[in-house]
Amino acid sequence: MTRDRNQISTMPNLFRSNRLYLLVTPLLLGMTLVACKVPSTILSQNSSAGTATTFPTDTGVVAATPSQPPGRVILLASADALPSQVEQTQAALTTLTGQMGLLFESSPKLETQDLTPDVRLVVILPPAEESVAQIPVWIAAASTAQFLVIGIAGLPSAPNLHIIGPQGARPDQQGFIAGYIAAVTTWDWRVGVIAVSNTPTGKAAGQAFMNGVVFFCGLCRPAYPPFLQYPIYAEVSAGAGQNEWQPAADMLIQNAIKTVYVVPGAGDEALLNYLAQAGVNLIGSQPGPQALRNQWVASIQADPIPMIQKLWPDLISGNAEAILPIPITFSETNPALLSPGRQSNAQKTLDKLLAGYIDSGVDPLTGEKK
């Protein structure tokens, strides 16, 4: 078998190429490995000192830095705080803190050691008799935190202290709008009030109720008998028991009263049930009991939530102190008794009352007529 001359002549070249490939490949592979491995220390000879120079290694890994803990907002609400106010404030603060990634917690007690540097805001609800003396101490101990106090008077001024309603809610304004709503919703103006006789706030609410009724109906003369002068005023002492509030309730019932405003502190739930069983519609300051929903016209309450929402940017940014009144709202409304149109009318009157365009006609501090 003969081979092609050209094929035979190329065989040595092929062998030489393979030998070259076998020699070059390890060399290139070694250079590649050396190039990929960046030494942490490169030695360079210094002609005078002969020292080694060390260059930092770039590993591509960013060193971890400790993260800042999220700020905290604390709600201090004692066991005696009004449950509805606690619930509403918790709901508002949960929404506000959630929008900013802050932590929110509610507690019936607060200790100075709880005021760690991550506390951004402390909100304190009334009543807070046990905490009043401690509030200035907390304010001084946590100078980077903001404090929002609701309905508490007598506190010293501080740049990180904000107060909503230092004198509490205006009982005269609450009574006035309660009287207005009673007159708006009651046929022939047959309305009355059970006030508190031995407290300025109780008297202020009762007297202002009378003025609120008259503001709407003027002479309030009934078209059908009994021809009495409405509204009718009754009063009991603070914390009255059944032996005291029942005669007052009976007097109103016997005079054909159809709607009664029970001033805060004038009686308990038993009084409300007693009036309801007699066919009387009710206006109060607390959420109406579920069993009385059909006869519950509205609840007149001091509501700090709008002011908290208004102050929120300043509270979180740490702006200077502010002192604002507590707004009054009516809630728990029964549309069968207080229709949307009448409710809108009452809201406009309340807005004017709070803005000062309407005066309650009663001194809120003494309960006396102006």
Mean pLDDT calculated for residue range 65-88: 82
User: In CATH, what number is assigned to the domain containing residue 92?
Assistant: 3.40.50.2300
Average pLDDT over all residues of the chain:
83
Mean pLDDT calculated for residue range 22-28: 44
Query: Do residues 194 and 252 touch, judged by C-beta distance below 8 A?
Result: yes
Q: What is the pLDDT of residue 191?
A: 98
- Co-location of 124 and 197 in the same domain: no
Tokens of 93: 């603060």
CA angle 187, 247, 184 (to 5 degrees): 20
Q: What is the pLDDT of residue 128?
A: 76
* pLDDT surpasses 90 at 30: no
Q: What is the pLDDT of residue 10?
A: 42
Q: What is the pLDDT of residue 47?
A: 39
- Co-location of 109 and 144 in the same domain: yes
Model confidence over 201-250: pLDDT tens digits?
999 999 999 999 999 999 998 998 989 999 999 999 988 889 999 999 99
Q: What is the pLDDT of residue 133?
A: 87
Q: What is the pLDDT of residue 343?
A: 95
What is the residue range of 292's domain? 171-302+328-355
* pLDDT surpasses 90 at 62: no
Question: Of the candidates 94, 129, 164, which is a domain's last residue?
Answer: 164
Q: Which band of pLDDT confidence, cut at 50, 70 and 90, is reported for residue 259?
A: very high
- Co-location of 203 and 269 in the same domain: yes
Q: What whole-number distance in Å separates Cα of residue 201 and Cα of residue 316?
A: 34
17 inside domain: no
Question: Of the candidates 164, 183, 211, which is a domain's last residue?
Answer: 164
Within the chain, residue ranges assigned H as helices are 5-36, 83-100, 129-132, 135-141, 171-185, 200-217, 242-254, 269-277, 305-317, 340-355
Place of tokens 């728990």: 332
- Co-location of 103 and 251 in the same domain: no
Q: What is the pLDDT of residue 67?
A: 57
Strand order through the sheet with 281-284: 232-236, 191-196, 259-262, 281-284, 296-302, 328-331
Q: What whole-number distance in Å separates Cα of residue 89 and Cα of residue 98?
A: 14
Tally of domains within the chain:
2
- Co-location of 134 and 277 in the same domain: no
Compare 309 and 85 and report the one with higher pLDDT.
309
Question: Which range is most confident: 122-131, 209-218, 300-309?
Answer: 209-218
Query: Do residues 261 and 283 touch, judged by C-beta distance below 8 A?
Result: yes
Model confidence over 264-284: pLDDT tens digits?
889 889 999 999 999 999 999
